[in-house]
């Protein structure tokens, strides 16, 4: 079992109780970390219901029978605004782990060739530049703490996925580039920056893209493991990358996709 006792983790972009961010937060807490959640202001009341209502208790159960998920703080933060990021970190004096689980395009259903300039730039700002902005803001809180920064990507950053529109493929490619660049700059302070490229998963965000179940089925058929991923497989990889066991790993893109990314045909 990975031990994150004494570490403080900020998990950004959590919007519901089924996405990768939620499962990563739960797994980090099960490993002993204190969890701070950040969400967009428009979903704060929704997230509060998942954290408080009795009917969602089962989804709050931590893995490994470690009890109930209870973050120490919940902040609303629009990561497209530097002022809100700065305000958020005024309440976080110490930090060890930063999880970037943020992605958005206002034209996600539009094919790449049809996306407007405005929507493309919004996707880049929210989904990739926010990693730079959050990392910069986190540096004072991470001082002398050997921090870990982790983002979430998708194979469309490397390969053509025609229905992955709205500028999101470019945003994910930029996110991975930003992580490599940040690994150098954050590394000067002893911090690590990595990315998990996750396989298709039926989160609420993914369902907005299009036929996510078809994506999952096709990836499962073609992957070496012949099955879809689970959100906890992504969360377990995240816990490892944020732990001292991965102290020599930075600037990496780790695929958690049942091996689908290695296939040629």
Give yes or no: 128 in active site.
Answer: yes
Which CATH number, 3.40.50.720, 3.20.20.150, 3.40.640.10, 3.40.50.300, labels domain 8-256?
3.40.50.720
CB–CB of 258/229 below 8 Å? yes
Ordered by start, the domain boundaries in the chain are 8-256
Say if residue 145's pLDDT is above 90: no
Say if residue 162's pLDDT is above 80: yes
Unique residue bearing structure tokens 């907005």? 208
Say which of 26, 38, 153, 172 is annotated catalytic: 172
Say which of 101, 127, 128, 197 is annotated catalytic: 128
Give yes or no: 53 in active site.
Answer: no
Q: What is the CA radius of gyration of the chain?
A: 17
pLDDT at 104: 95
Burial (CB count <10 Å: 0-12, 13-18, 19+), residue 260: buried
CB–CB of 197/241 below 8 Å? no
pLDDT tens figures, 163-215: 899 999 999 999 999 999 999 999 999 999 999 999 999 876 766 676 778 88
The CA-based angle 99-101-104, given to 5 degrees, is: 150
pLDDT at 133: 98
Distance CA 48, CA 44 (A): 6
pLDDT at 43: 96
Closest C-alpha among 60, 34, 62, 64 to residue 49 = 60
pTM assigned to the model: 0.96
Say if residue 95's pLDDT is above 80: yes
* Helix %, strand %, coil % of the chain (to 5): 45, 15, 40
């Amino acid at each position: 079992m990975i031990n994150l006792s004494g570490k403080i983790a900020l998990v950004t972009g959590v919007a519901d109780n089924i996405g990768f961010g939620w499962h990563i937060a739960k797994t980090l807490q099960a490993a002993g970390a204190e969890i701070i959640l950040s969400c967009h202001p428009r979903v704060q009341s929704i997230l509060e219901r998942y954290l408080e209502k009795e009917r969602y208790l089962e989804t709050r159960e931590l893995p490994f029978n470690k009890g109930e998920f209870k973050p120490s703080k919940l902040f609303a933060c629009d990561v497209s605004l530097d002022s809100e990021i700065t305000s958020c970190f005024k309440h976080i004096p110490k930090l060890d782990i930063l999880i970037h689980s943020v992605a958005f395009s206002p034209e996600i259903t539009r094919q790449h060739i049809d996306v407007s300039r405005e929507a493309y730039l919004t996707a880049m700002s929210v989904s990739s530049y926010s990693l730079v902005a959050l990392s910069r803001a986190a540096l004072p809180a991470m001082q002398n703490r050997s921090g870990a920064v982790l983002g979430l990507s998708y194979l469309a950053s490397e390969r053509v996925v025609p229905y992955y529109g709205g500028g999101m493929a470019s945003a994910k490619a930029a996110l991975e580039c930003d992580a490599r660049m940040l690994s150098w700059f954050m590394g000067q302070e002893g911090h690590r920056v990595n990315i998990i490229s996750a396989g298709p998963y039926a989160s609420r965000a993914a369902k907005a893209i299009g036929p996510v179940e078809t994506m999952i089925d096709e990836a499962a058929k073609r992957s070496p493991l012949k099955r879809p991923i689970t959100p906890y497989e992504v969360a377990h990889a995240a816990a490892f990358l944020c732990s001292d066991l991965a102290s020599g790993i930075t600037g990496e893109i780790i695929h958690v996709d049942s091996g689908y990314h290695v296939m040629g045909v």
